[in-house]
Chain A
Amino acid sequence: MSLLSFLTGGLIPATAPWLPVAFAGIMAFIILMYVILDGFDLGIGILFALERDKTHRDVMVNSIAPVWDGNETWLVLGGSTLYGSFPLAFAVILPAVYPLVILMLMGLIFRGTAFEFRFRAPTEKLRLLWDWAFLGGSVVAAFCQGAILGGLMHGTPIVNRAYAGGALDWLNPFTIFCGFAVVVGYSLLGAAWMIWRASGELQSNMRVYAKYLGMAMLVIFGIVGIWSPLQNPAYYDRWFNWPGIFATAVAPISVLILAYIFFKHLNSTDQAAHDKTPFFCALGFFVVSFGGLGYSIFPQIVPPGLDIWQAAAPTVSLQFLFPGVVILIPVILAYNIFAYYIFRGKIEAGAHYH
């Protein structure tokens, strides 16, 4: 027995049905981290649609420049962990939403490069073009991510360990709606982030955007809450039948509490201490919706026919990956928090020239 297999296999018994459950939790955590971290990044990009002023746009980009790459790394971790722990799910989901995946990647290319390029563009016109690329890439990426989640909830047919459907089977009103919902949600995160990190005129603009985006978010919660259980009778049973209705009630109650805190502090413009409260409430919205999604589909990983035990990699793969994940993710969180701490504080516009 090699040292490595002693370290990993020695600690965990050969058959461990709890491992797929643990990895489902790990996957959920990784996706949630991605959604909230890259969510506000992409939201900043989407808000370029409303914020035309160059100085403001520079401040918005600078508030995320040192951290966006780390935020996007959670997407890579999500992909590779899904690949390693639930390879069959990885192999089925991506072909099922193929056009959305390609579009999302292209959107992220525009978004990720525009960061650097808009500062390197030789003319003002080209800079504006990269601003459009930043905006367009962010909108497309956000929309596709929402539509992918919607498509996943809607259901994916599988035959012989492969996706058994057409290239556009995901396309229906529900997935389109989920796409728009995520665009709105990310914008809200972005606006709330800027309330925290900006000051002056930009900050007051963001308070206005956040107000309307927050209201739109509440409407979306209402629609999703009714529409998504209708995608699959199993979801409906879980949400509205006894005793699930108890757990179900948690979601709207938490949303209402968060909304109350959000709108209360959104208006307290003179309290610097509350600048970050709307952001954390917006994060809360995402935690609740994400929890709802997990609550709907668990233990399925690719509804309606594939559960986490069927999709899981052989135990020996999970055993190998498990210690790495549980040890390294806290370490990663620690030095990421350190990086955020280094770049804390309000971003000042045009400080370069003072």
Chain B
Amino acid sequence: MSFLPFFASPTAIEMARAQFGFVIAFHIIFPAFSIGLASFLAVLEGAWLWTKQPVYLDAFKYWLKIFAMIFAIGVVSGLVMAYEIGANWGGYADKVGPVLGPLLAYETLTAFFLEAGFLGIMLFGLDRVGPKLHFAATCLVSIGTLISATWILSANSWMQTPAGTVMGANGQIVPVDWLAIIFSPSAPYRWVHMILASYLATAFMVGGVGAYHLLRDRKNQISRLFFSMALWMAAIVTPLQILAGDTQGQNTLAYQPAKIAGMEGDFTTGVQALHLFGIPDVAQGKLLYDVAIPHLGSFILTHDWNGVVKGLDAWPKDQWPVVSVEFFTFRIMVALGFAMFGLGLLSLWLRYKRRLYDTKWFHYLTMLMAPSGFIAIVMGWTTTETGRQPWTVYGLVTTAQSASPISLPVVMTSFAVIIVIYALVFGSGILYVLKMMAKLPEPGESMPDDAPLRSHGLVGQVALGDKAGPVAAE
């Protein structure tokens, strides 16, 4: 097989996969947080312009400083992936470039530049351009994050459920119908699921930070504001997200049934039980320590108690997904989803009882749940990506065909370098973000450019006219 890279041994491929998995799993947290925060910031600034209440501006400035850090980490960790695709996955880049390259180029042209171009104004330009134009910049940045998500999810969805292409004579995939590529069968479902996930993950983080501050100062108006907003989001959007997850599952069953079989732990074709827990034994082809509810698996997937669903035995073993991973990551994601749903319900009940700001155990619980959305995102992505194996482009390009001719020691060295540097740089970054989140929001919050000695030219430091006075205590 001439297309097989001649140096690449299977272990080098596995290392390259582990490396890319590490890089992408780390990266995804930050754009997801940026997508959520950018929209949240646009809402806060809009509410400030609309109501003129300083508490919105203070909340805006508080989260804007955190947004600047999150965005910076997202940009540089994303750049790594843009080039690793070619460096570690040269075979993939050559075969798939004609399809995905233009999508990624459009992502840069329509989204990244928009975000980058107006981010400077959003962070440092309030006193230079005035509140209205500044609000426009905030909106453009948040629209940019959504456009970016749309392109990248299009690209990923096409890899999961390819459409609109033919195989070229030289092994390259040739586009035929761009609309079919951009809106491949799983794209709309994945888009909804991921955007909601970004909003929810952000809401739980914002809510957790609010809860942390309420435990110290339950009269802090700014914390109350974003704590309350976050929990409205959690209560309303979590049920929608569970619905969205269910429809995406239906879509996956239609287009990637082997992935579903692995997720569910269904080894044999037939009427499926819902396996709450178990340990998949791939070698023996069965689920050990199975804890199951009969017929419920079929009901969820086919909406029929006796629906027949394919098990893994419908495929030769070399086409099985990474069952031992996706089985667990899927369960963690679903469990977190229902925990988030429960917290949303609790918040509604406490709100009804008018005890939302005074219930300490609930604040502790909300703090505990702060990272739940991000963990769920990483688990969900791990599920969908390991479930696509052994393919990079489902049914078209295998992972083995995708590798670069890079030898094992080289991949291992670069992986080690990446791990050390990520731990050092992004570890510090996360520490700084946590410190910023631990700081109590105050009336008259500073902008990012008011950091010590940070100045931006002639008018850079003119005090804002909107310095908020103390918020009237209740």
Contact = CB atoms under 8 A, between A and B. Distances in A.
Interface of A: 2-5, 8, 54-55, 58-59, 62, 65-67, 69-70, 72-73, 75-77, 79-85, 87-88, 90-95, 98-99, 101-102, 105-106, 108-110, 112-113, 115-117, 119-122, 133, 159-164, 167, 313-314, 316-317, 320-321, 324-325, 328-329, 332, 335-336, 338-339, 342-352, 354
Contact of A325 (B109, B119, B456): B109
Interface string B116-139: 111111011100110000000000
B102 A345 contact: no
Given A66-B124, A69-B119, A80 B425 contact: no
Contacts of A133: 425
A73 B106 contact: no
Nearest to A328: B109
Interface in B142-183: 168, 170-172, 174-180
Given A80-B107, A316-B176, A325-B105, A162 B91 contact: yes
Contact of A92 (B68, B90, B125, B435): B90
Given A109-B76, A116-B69, A324-B109, A350 B455 contact: yes
Which 3 A/B pairs are nearest by Cβ-Cβ distance? A87-B97, A84-B101, A66-B120
Contacts of B93: 83, 87, 90-91, 94
A87 B98 contact: yes
B430 to A, nearest CB: 11
21 contacts: A2-B180, A54-B453, A69-B120, A70-B119, A83-B100, A87-B97, A92-B94, A98-B404, A101-B87, A110-B425, A113-B426, A117-B432, A119-B452, A163-B90, A167-B406, A335-B118, A336-B117, A339-B117, A347-B455, A352-B450, A352-B455
Nearest to A59: B455
Contact of A332 (B82, B109, B176, B414): B109
Interface in B68-104: 68-69, 71-73, 75-80, 82-87, 90-104
B82 A80 contact: yes
Contacts of B460: 348, 351
B143 to A, nearest CB: 13
B445 to A, nearest CB: 16
A115 B72 contact: yes
Contacts of B73: 113
Interface in B224-242: none
Interface of B: 2-3, 5-6, 68-69, 71-73, 75-80, 82-87, 90-110, 112-121, 123-125, 128-129, 168, 170-172, 174-180, 404-407, 410, 414, 417-418, 421-422, 425-426, 428-429, 432, 435-436, 449-458, 460-461
A349 B100 CA distance: 46
Nearest to A107: B421
A5 B177 contact: yes
Contact of A342 (B72, B121, B177): B121
A72 B115 CA distance: 12
Contact of A83 (B2, B104, B404, B457): B104
Contact of B404 (A95, A108, A120, A344): A95
A120 B69 contact: yes
Contacts of A84: 97-98, 100-105
Nearest to B176: A316
Contacts of B180: 2
A198 to B, nearest CB: 11
B382 to A, nearest CB: 23
A210 B174 CA distance: 50
Contacts of B168: 314
